[in-house]
Structure 1
């Protein structure tokens, strides 16, 4: 099966990429080389990229300082954690911050909180938070960068372009940051359809018109020999435009400062028959639905969908590359991924494997992405730890799934320094007996691995004992939204994906399309369809991804780590009156909209 598909550039990067440094408010401009500056060690750690050490250094300074400098140091620690993508640690420190002695720091605190909103998959909440902020002059750049991140995470690329143009006007004295912003602005323009660019051209701002006009000119210049003349005409119309600093020279030299819009071919390798047929079909259909929503047959790339059930992974992969694939998505099965990577130090084209497999060595061009339950369990345990719990009971079912989730709970908890009081394993027919065996175990948190039916039997046992209960997404079925049934889950906090808990407008459109085509399968496999959607949409970032690159997906905030794996951040919700209610990044229950 072959379809046309456009591979778009990445959606967005961390707002700290290329950003200017901002001095501590009230402390004056500082130089790490000056021995009189108490922050010199922390700043040196930041320059080295050691954000954990930087945060700890700021915290140490805070413990010895008095307000309001103490609050500045604590806030600097939060910002260092955010720069290092350590969102759990940032949450803990932000929750402790008392700005009563330093109200002037509130805009800065709100910017940090908005970054955490984005990291937890809530860009709309971040934008609402930022609307209440009037940043002082020294914080206008971080404010604008955070707003851009939120707009890009929402998929609101038109407003993001306008915001990046405004950011350029704030970066006129910082050339490296200005050029980095131009690069991101150009990549955004490459993602926007002609119809929206044409509409954007109608606004009065000459600088925005110049950027859009240049993007359209390059996109529709089919002959390289005509491009110099077209660029010369553009420069005559926009003689002082910021793009003349860097984008125009690159184009004049025959270089393309972003991903080319030329034809691409994507191979999608899935086991479409056999044991994983249903899951593979849901991934395929989510993938194609996202492609169709992205322009479908009007775009100029191709997707080659192949059934690889029972075939040699390396052989199928090499055939796809030989046939012109510039990007490969798949395989799905763990054995096939191992087979593909065996003996390899690098793959010939960027490859997104749809599962996680430990690798004995790093394989360049191999990225791994999945919905692994044990990875969710790690995130859930970290959340419980961040909420201040230190003694936990692990409750999981018999079988391979329960073994993986239970091991992830225990390993994560003990690595943090917590105490696992007991691991209780249950079967579907002995839950009451197993729970009674717990007696009056002294603990302050329960880490639960369970599906909805079992969770409804287990949770009441602990809520009656005033214990905090945390679960993975398995506890919740969005197909069974019945408060009368889910009241037994009252108080349970669990992590899930935005697609399920708070879908944005683009997700709702995709869900409507998918449910119309496959209503029965969607009810049972909604998360797998979202996985397929993200497998397509994350290709925007794949080609140029580096550690720390982020993509706000339908399954959560996806962050590329040092191994090329995508770590998935969860959205959090708590059962209240039988309804799963999403929570904001600061732990406050969101009001129904």
Structure 2
């Protein structure tokens, strides 16, 4: 193979058009370049051919066609820089109309992975080409996918010559990533995607039962006969179809029911029992509900806990992280656990669903799938809330937040989780992350940190310097930084009550700019009365649906208020935690296999990620006129 410098010299040697001559000489066509039978054709061979054709025949179209061959081979070898150089030379010399479509396709391919290339311009380059739909669609698919335009990418992929199996799995992957708004838009915009969207809606509708899902899939196949989805269902849908109903005959609940954490364990237990009796009310006295056995974990070794399992195949708990970590290695086979905490990833067992073979027929029995040991992790992780705030303010277009964090292990963890997610989001977009951090341990350091972060202290210093220089009072307001567009609070309810007035006092009222303050549930205490809401005016926060004034469980809330009139905010949250834990058990298999599915629980909108962790999405509210007001953002 020729060296790169030789390749470019060959290109330059045939790149310019000579002056016209009076008489075209008669030449003998050059012999093709000798390439041994087993030797692959290289871009350099094509460049050499192009040079000889030009020198011998002065046939520009033939030369340019060979140069395009060279560019295509460079792209095939992933030498995109050399391909770009060949194409640039061609563009400068002019492209014949007969070669334009091929040139445009190769140019798009050569720049498709170039970060500085504008995707919109590459899309424009492909518009109006008369070349085959499939080749153009392949490039469009890649372009749309790189831009995160999942519906457009899926629609383009369906126009390629890819196999039905490839199309089904990839289009399904992209359709699953669409939120509800994007899904509705795609349904209107891309008719070819409607069967995929219909299938996703169907799995949502029948997520409560694999038996119902089987019937739904049969109806789907009757609705779309002959469609690729009728014969090539996505693998995860096949796995969901193959799930058997969990045999919840007996459930062992591991909780701390004595000692210093007894009140915590009892609140979770109350939630579990409330969910149990609600199910009993719905299904009737003759329903076959599981037997519940509550086992106190205080002072018991993992082996002692296992010995108390008896015939139970399902465990809810333990609550403490260290107990979960020590119990996992000694769990018996075929025992499933919904731990009420999380462990380090290195300590977690495999979370891949243990199902029957993925090629199970749609008409096969769902009861054939065996039960295997699985561990799922459901915790009220504060890091989840911090990450949700990072996602929200980033998607809202805010880019210069101040993070205010109390100096304690809990709030430092939340601060670290926010920053990690914030920097990850910027890295994905290729933008630079900006964040200002204020840490404090008392009201004095809180006030000082806020004023410094907002640059108010520097503004006051400048005013004092001017007064000293002119020996007169300067009637001016200290000005705060104008680039700050959000303030995130990771602090206790008491500290957050102090924080909000300090921020309002530090912001220059003449700027006319409102800087929103965001907080998490850890900053909210519903037991303090209206004085708290007065001091938190305009603060936006996220919390469990159960804690919001308007939710769908009003009857349950009325009952709990009657039974436990003096329950604290934390006990109410733990009650909701236990309630959801019990109701999640029969849903774990479906939520694991189809992770885009959501369970609407008291503690939030629940999904299971690839690590087997239940992730919560919380609603947002704002304090307005001393009342909690739900937001629909």
| Distance of 1:355 and 1:156 partners within structure 2 | 26
Distance 1:319 1:543, change over 3 A: farther
**1:437 deviation in Å?**
4.1
Cα deviation 1:314-373 (Å, max 9, x = unaligned): 4303541xx1111111111011011113488x9642211101221315414111111111
| Distance of 1:411 and 1:536 partners within structure 2 | 32
- The reply to whether residue 578 of structure 1 matches residue 578 of structure 2 is no
Which residues in structure 2 correspond to 1:208-287 (within 5 Å)? Answer: 259-260=244-245, 264-287=249-272
| Distance of 1:421 and 1:57 partners within structure 2 | 34
SS of the aligned residue for 1:562 comes to coil
Cα deviation 1:435-493 (Å, max 9, x = unaligned): 334352552221211233322221233356332322111233345573x6424323322
| Distance of 2:243 and 2:346 partners within structure 1 | 33
Counterpart pick for 2:295 among 279, 302, 306: 306
| Distance of 1:395 and 1:37 partners within structure 2 | 48
SS of the aligned residue for 1:272 comes to coil
| Distance of 2:621 and 2:171 partners within structure 1 | 23
Q: Is the 8 A contact 2:254 2:317 kept in 1?
A: yes
Q: Which residue of 2 aligns with 1:108?
A: 184
**1:179 deviation in Å?**
10
- The reply to whether residue 375 of structure 1 matches residue 384 of structure 2 is yes
Unaligned 5+ segments in structure 2 are 1-126, 156-169, 351-373, 427-432, 456-480, 508-513
| Distance of 2:299 and 2:342 partners within structure 1 | 20
SS of the aligned residue for 2:390 comes to helix
**1:283 deviation in Å?**
0.9
| Distance of 1:81 and 1:539 partners within structure 2 | 28
Counterpart pick for 1:567 among 606, 615, 621: 615
- The reply to whether residue 83 of structure 1 matches residue 176 of structure 2 is yes
Distance 1:517 1:150, change over 3 A: farther
Q: Which residue of 2 aligns with 1:353?
A: 339
Q: Is the 8 A contact 1:33 1:40 kept in 2?
A: no
Distance 1:144 1:406, change over 3 A: same
| Distance of 1:536 and 1:528 partners within structure 2 | 13
Q: Which residue of 1 aligns with 2:523?
A: 475
Q: Is the 8 A contact 1:141 1:170 kept in 2?
A: no
Q: Greater shift after overlay, 445-454 or 427-436?
A: 427-436
**1:160 deviation in Å?**
11
Cα deviation 1:362-406 (Å, max 9, x = unaligned): 414111111111221111122111111222221112222222122
**1:184 deviation in Å?**
9.1
Unaligned 5+ segments in structure 1 are 1-26, 46-51, 63-76, 95-106, 112-133, 188-246, 248-256, 588-593
Distance 1:487 1:369, change over 3 A: same
| Distance of 2:616 and 2:279 partners within structure 1 | 23
- The reply to whether residue 395 of structure 1 matches residue 404 of structure 2 is yes
Q: How many residues align?
A: 420
Counterpart pick for 2:322 among 302, 313, 335: 335
RMSD: 4.5
Cα deviation 1:516-571 (Å, max 9, x = unaligned): 22221255421111111110111122245236153322211221111111111121
Q: Is the 8 A contact 2:604 2:619 kept in 1?
A: yes
Higher relative contact order (CA 8 A, sep 6+): 1
Q: Which residue of 2 aligns with 1:540?
A: 586
**1:150 deviation in Å?**
7.0
| Distance of 1:167 and 1:57 partners within structure 2 | 23
Q: Greater shift after overlay, 162-171 or 574-583?
A: 162-171
| Distance of 2:326 and 2:290 partners within structure 1 | 28
SS of the aligned residue for 1:423 comes to strand
- The reply to whether residue 407 of structure 1 matches residue 391 of structure 2 is no
* TM-score, with structure 1 as normaliser: 0.60
| Distance of 1:82 and 1:578 partners within structure 2 | 42
Q: Is the 8 A contact 2:176 2:596 kept in 1?
A: no
Q: Which residue of 1 aligns with 2:554?
A: 508
| Distance of 1:481 and 1:169 partners within structure 2 | 58
* TM-score, with structure 2 as normaliser: 0.56
SS of the aligned residue for 1:36 comes to helix
- The reply to whether residue 494 of structure 1 matches residue 541 of structure 2 is yes
Q: Which residue of 1 aligns with 2:375?
A: 366
Q: Greater shift after overlay, 515-524 or 165-174?
A: 165-174
Counterpart pick for 2:571 among 520, 525, 548: 525
Cα deviation 1:238-262 (Å, max 9, x = unaligned): xxxxxxxxx9xxxxxxxxx763586
**1:137 deviation in Å?**
6.9
Q: Greater shift after overlay, 453-462 or 327-336?
A: 453-462
| Distance of 2:154 and 2:246 partners within structure 1 | 50
SS of the aligned residue for 1:304 comes to strand
- The reply to whether residue 170 of structure 1 matches residue 156 of structure 2 is no
SS of the aligned residue for 2:292 comes to strand
Cα deviation 1:284-331 (Å, max 9, x = unaligned): 1101111111126632421111111111134303541xx111111111
Q: Which residue of 2 aligns with 1:293?
A: 278
Q: Greater shift after overlay, 458-467 or 264-273?
A: 458-467
